[in-house]
Structure 1
Amino acid sequence: MGTPGHLFKSTVASLLLAVGYSLPLAAQGADVDALLQQLAEAEPGQDARIESQIFAEWSKSGSPAIDLLLQRGQDALDAGDWTTAAEHFTAAIDHDPDFAEAYHGRATAYYMTGHIGPALDDLRQTLVLNPRHFRAMQGFAVILQELDRPEDAVEVLRQVHAMHPADETVADALEQLELMLGGRTL
């Protein structure tokens, strides 16, 4: 254990590093905050543009190399090549373990290959890094349903619906689960 002076210096250095690294994210956060507010107030048909803008912001890693890995992973997902997608997302995570969008992409790839445990782990990490990631929350709700935990899935979907009320897929899934539960107290 260090001296009190050493501990203070370490704490100050850590704080300065944290503030320094968070400044660009704070600016991005303000943009995303406004977009999330618009999404919460959007009418059906207006929400797709706003959602696209949110994901464009979340997809900015700050590194052209990581952005390229993310794009390659997304392209592989779009092509149905789940294994290659997971490899690209893993490479992005290796370069930047704090990049939530890479975890979300890899969670999707893992889910599509039937690797539910690793998909859950990556969804959890996505939400640790970005607690407002409504698509990661929606994926988590889908897995909860598959694990026969409909009450938990309803709770998660309610949170997603509050963030993105114009999403008819979420509204329909929530309605179906609530009907299935037959009015049971959750």
Structure 2
Amino acid sequence: MRLSSHSLIAAGLSAGLLLGAAAAGAQTLPPDHPPVPQDRVPQGDAADLPEPREPPTVTLDDLFDRLKKAKRPEAAASVSREIEARWLASGSDTVDLLMIRALTAIKAKDMALAMDLLDAIVTLKPDYVEGWNKRATLHYSRKDLGRSLADIEMTLRLEPRHYGALYGLATVFKDLGQKDKALDAYRKVLALNPQMPNVEKEIKELATEVEGRDL
């Protein structure tokens, strides 16, 4: 099979980044994964992954409890950032670096490269929630609703409380004209993150359309 100029991550990257990571016990890509020209991998400083600030004794359950009880948007946003930092932390130095580079590629609007990097991430670590979630978002930006929906479903299988994925699910259902399903998804978002912007507005508008008409 002929590889595109954007085909990504394995043999080429294994020779550098992944080889060193493997020596430290990190995962490596399967040998049949498409190779990557090293000069196509972004080297920019597009934001290191945010570090969780709360001590490990504060669990995700604790954080979600705080999120539900937050009275002000600023307090909810602070807790949300902590939750999302934990989701982003894959537990693998290799995968974390690939995620930084995928986010760099997205920022640079190199979506084909970002997709190859995210493909590599979910191959390396299929139980990494944020790999699927970020790829779902990228599929959506490319108008590929079917693949976006599949990756959202995988995200929610791994983390049913992922309010970002639920918001994405609602958006996809809305685009597909499935407004009853969109409404249900938005309500799940609100139950998890009551201060999340725009959700109440979306619920109000959809409730009028779905529940306020003769069916």
Q: TM-score with structure 1 length normalisation?
A: 0.79
Question: Could you say which residue in structure 2 is the equivalent of 1:4?
Answer: none
Task: Select 2:188's aligned residue among 141, 152, 159.
Answer: 159
Pair 1:67-2:96 in alignment: yes
Pair 1:149-2:178 in alignment: yes
Task: Select 1:137's aligned residue among 159, 162, 166.
Answer: 166
| Structure 2 runs not aligned, ≥5 long | 1-54
C-alpha distance in structure 1 between counterparts of 2:193 and 2:56, whole Å = 20
| Structure 1 runs not aligned, ≥5 long | 1-26
Deviation at 1:158, TM superposition (A): 0.5
For the aligned residue pairs, the C-alpha RMSD in angstroms reads: 2.1
C-alpha distance in structure 2 between counterparts of 1:183 and 1:134, whole Å = 26
Pair 1:51-2:80 in alignment: yes
Task: Select 1:36's aligned residue among 64, 77, 91.
Answer: 64
* Structure 2 residue identity aligned to 1:49: S
C-alpha distance in structure 1 between counterparts of 2:57 and 2:188, whole Å = 20
Task: Select 1:84's aligned residue among 113, 134, 139.
Answer: 113
Deviation at 1:29, TM superposition (A): 9.7
Question: Could you say which residue in structure 1 is the equivalent of 2:52?
Answer: none
Calculate percent identity across the aligned residue pairs. Answer: 32
* Structure 2 residue identity aligned to 1:76: A
Is residue 157–residue 170 contact of structure 1 (8 Å, CA) maintained in 2? Answer: yes
Is residue 82–residue 112 contact of structure 1 (8 Å, CA) maintained in 2? Answer: no
Pick the structure with more helix per residue.
Answer: 1
Question: Could you say which residue in structure 2 is the equivalent of 1:110?
Answer: 139
- 63-72 or 73-82, which deviates more: 73-82
